[in-house]
């Protein structure tokens, strides 16, 4: 078992605390079969990995620190979150985890932003997203540079709501990310996205197949919480066959 | 934020994405820090192919660091040598034989890309002029409502 990054420095007042979904990502991406697939995919190319919505940084910290095992080589990595507290926490989580594992990977930076809007086209080799996936009546507005809050409480609850609230079917933010995939992924790029049962995973997979610049392949590579024949959470992998 | 980060960033304004002027973003009023990371030539050589050299030269010049950067990507010289059948060896091959690239050049590049961080300042889009603040090493690319 690869070690889970230390997040003891993270304050969970505004930052998503690692939970079942986070750990499913760690387990799925480091499973022997997935590691073998990734080794092959990146056999002569050191990947750039970007996590969107890093929260505590437990996922990108884990991927960076254990890259030699998962990808067969060190990686360069970046983290993006709308929450600046999460950005700073992630940087520290990644730094500690990389040091702890003696990895040669390099965590370049955390950036505060909306999904991949500030990422250069065709540059991402590994994209990871554990989205705000809970169905909610409303989708919280994104913070912006000019944002002013009445008090700390309003700020904290807004930032926390952004970590789980997914609007209609819990999919409003995830669908926006999926639409960015053809633009930001490199030719050998691969994306991992977490879905819950209420997200209507089969419908989502069909939608992925219809993204432009395909053909896009999609497969479930990890699942948890199996109940009455269908799993509560799953990780899908999205990629193209390199030509 | 390591300097190499700018190789993967662009302006968040939708209409700027397709404009060549939006890459790279330009540093303004940047203050730098030096971070120490053990030199790793194999890793560096793995990263070089993905770097847009012209863009990197622009960025280095803006930070007053042009002296750290050779005029062309050492990777290109390596590939050219391979094609001419001179070296013909793999990048990561046999450390003792070396890579055919001057190690001093690689060490400077390492310092520039992996050990130079921008702590405060702005990143400015060459197309729309929007200024993204960098604070405590974190760039903020969230847009005000009228630009979303
Ligand atoms: C479910 S949490 C996942 C946190 C962490 N990756 C983990 O697995 O523990 C979702 C994260 O996405 C962030 N987020 C929400 N909307 C976003 C957006 N539009 N762009 C970037 N990040 C976003 C939230 O701030 C939160 O940190
Ligand atoms: Zn712009």
* Mean pLDDT score of chain B: 89
In terms of DSSP bridges, do strands B116-124 and B131-135 run parallel, antiparallel, or are they unpaired? antiparallel
Considering only CA atoms, which residue is closest to atom 23 of ligand 1?
A53
What ipTM was predicted for this assembly?
0.94
Domain assignment present for residue A98? The answer is yes
CATH number at A105 reads 3.40.50.150
**Which residue from B2, B106, B26, B17 is spatially nearest to A77, judged by alpha carbons?**
B2
pTM value surpassing 0.90: yes
The reply to whether residue B141 touches residue A84, judged by beta carbons under 8 angstroms, is no
A2, part of any domain: no
Tens digit of pLDDT for each residue in A74-97? 999 999 999 999 999 999 999 999
Range(s) of the domain holding residue A121 = 20-239
Q: Closest approach of chain B CAs to the CA of A156, in angstroms?
A: 18
Domain count of chain A? 1
The alpha carbon of B22 and the centre of ligand 2 are apart by a number of angstroms equal to 6
Would you state the pLDDT for residue B99?
Answer: 64
Alpha carbons within 13 angstroms on the beta-carbon side of residue A152 total 2
Helices (H), chain A: 20-29, 32-41, 58-65, 67-70, 84-100, 152-164, 172-184, 201-209
Alpha carbon distance B106, B53 (integer Å): 14
Q: Tell me which residue has its CA closest to atom 12 in ligand 1.
A: A53
Q: What is the pLDDT of residues B97-140, one digit of tens each?
A: 456 778 899 999 999 999 999 999 999 999 999 999 999 999 99
Token output for A129: 């997203």
pLDDT classification of B85: cutoffs 50, 70, 90: low
pLDDT above 60: residue B89: no
**Least CA distance to A86: which residue of chain B?**
B138
Q: What residue ranges of chain A have pLDDT lower than 70?
A: 226-231, 243
Percent of chain B with pLDDT over 90: 70
Predicted local distance difference test score (pLDDT) of residue B6: 97
Of all protein residues, the one whose alpha carbon is nearest to atom 13 of ligand 1 is A53
Angstroms from B2 CA to nearest CA on chain A: 5
Nearest residue to B66 (alpha-carbon basis) of B53, B78, B77 = B53
**Interface mutation target, options B79, B121, B126, B142, chain A, most CBs of A under 10 Å:** B142
CB-nearest to B8 from A48, A144, A146 is A48
Candidates B14, B17, B50; nearest CB to A121: B17
**CATH code for the domain defined by B3-147:** 2.20.25.10
Entry field: residues in chain A: 243
Model confidence band, residue B93 (pLDDT cutoffs 50, 70, 90): very low
* Rounded Cα distance, A163 and A132, in Å: 5
> Average pLDDT in the B43-55 region?
92
Among B1, B3, B8, the residue to mutate for chain A (most A Cβ within 10 A): B8
Dump pLDDT digits (tens) for B53-80: 999 999 999 999 999 999 888 888 777 7
User: What are the pLDDT digits (tens) for B17-40?
Assistant: 999 999 999 999 999 999 999 999
Chain B CB within 8 Å of residue A97 CB: no
Is A46 within 8 Å of B143 when comparing Cβ atoms? no
pLDDT band at B96 (very low <50, low <70, confident <90, very high): very low
Left, alpha or beta for B52 (phi > 0: left; psi -120 to 50: alpha)?
Answer: beta
């Amino acid at each position: 078992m690869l070690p889970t990054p230390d997040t003891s420095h993270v304050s969970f007042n505004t930052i998503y605390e690692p939970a079942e979904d986070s750990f499913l990502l760690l387990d799925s991406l480091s499973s022997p079969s997935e590691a073998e697939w990734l080794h092959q995919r990146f056999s002569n190319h050191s990947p750039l990995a970007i996590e969107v919505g890093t929260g505590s940084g437990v996922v990108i910290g884990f991927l960076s620190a254990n890259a030699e095992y998962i990808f067969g080589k060190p990686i360069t990595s970046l983290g993006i979150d709308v929450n600046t507290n999460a950005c700073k926490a992630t940087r520290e989580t990644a730094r500690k985890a990389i040091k702890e594992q003696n990895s040669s990977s390099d965590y370049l930076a955390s950036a505060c932003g909306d999904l991949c809007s500030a990422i250069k086209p065709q540059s991402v080799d590994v994209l990871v997203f554990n989205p705000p996936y809970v169905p909610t009546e409303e989708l919280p507005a994104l913070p912006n540079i000019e944002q002013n809050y009445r008090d700390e409480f309003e700020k904290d609850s807004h930032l926390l709501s952004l970590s789980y609230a997914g609007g209609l079917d819990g999919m409003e933010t995830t669908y926006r990310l999926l639409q960015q995939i053809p633009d930001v992924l490199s030719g050998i790029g691969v994306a991992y996205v977490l879905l819950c049962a209420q997200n209507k995973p089969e419908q989502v997979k069909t939608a992925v197949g219809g993204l432009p610049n395909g053909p896009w392949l999609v497969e479930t590579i990890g699942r948890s919480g199996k109940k009455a024949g269908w799993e509560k959470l799953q990780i899908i992998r999205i990629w193209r066959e390199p030509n | 934020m390591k300097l190499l980060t700018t190789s993967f960033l662009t302006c968040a304004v939708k209409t700027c994405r397709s404009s060549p002027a939006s890459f790279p973003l330009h540093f303004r009023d940047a203050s730098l820090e030096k971070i120490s990371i053990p030199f790793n030539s194999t890793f560096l050589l793995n990263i070089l192919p993905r770097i847009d050299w012209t863009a990197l030269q622009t960025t280095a010049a803006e930070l007053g660091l042009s002296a750290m950067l050779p005029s062309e990507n050492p990777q290109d010289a390596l590939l050219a040598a391979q094609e001419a059948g001179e070296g013909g060896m793999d990048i990561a091959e046999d450390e003792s034989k070396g890579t055919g690239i001057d190690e001093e050049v690689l060490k400077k590049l390492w310092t520039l890309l992996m050990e130079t961080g921008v702590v405060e300042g702005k990143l400015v889009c060459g197309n729309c002029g929007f200024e993204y603040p960098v604070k405590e090493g974190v760039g903020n690319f969230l847009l005000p409502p009228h630009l979303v």
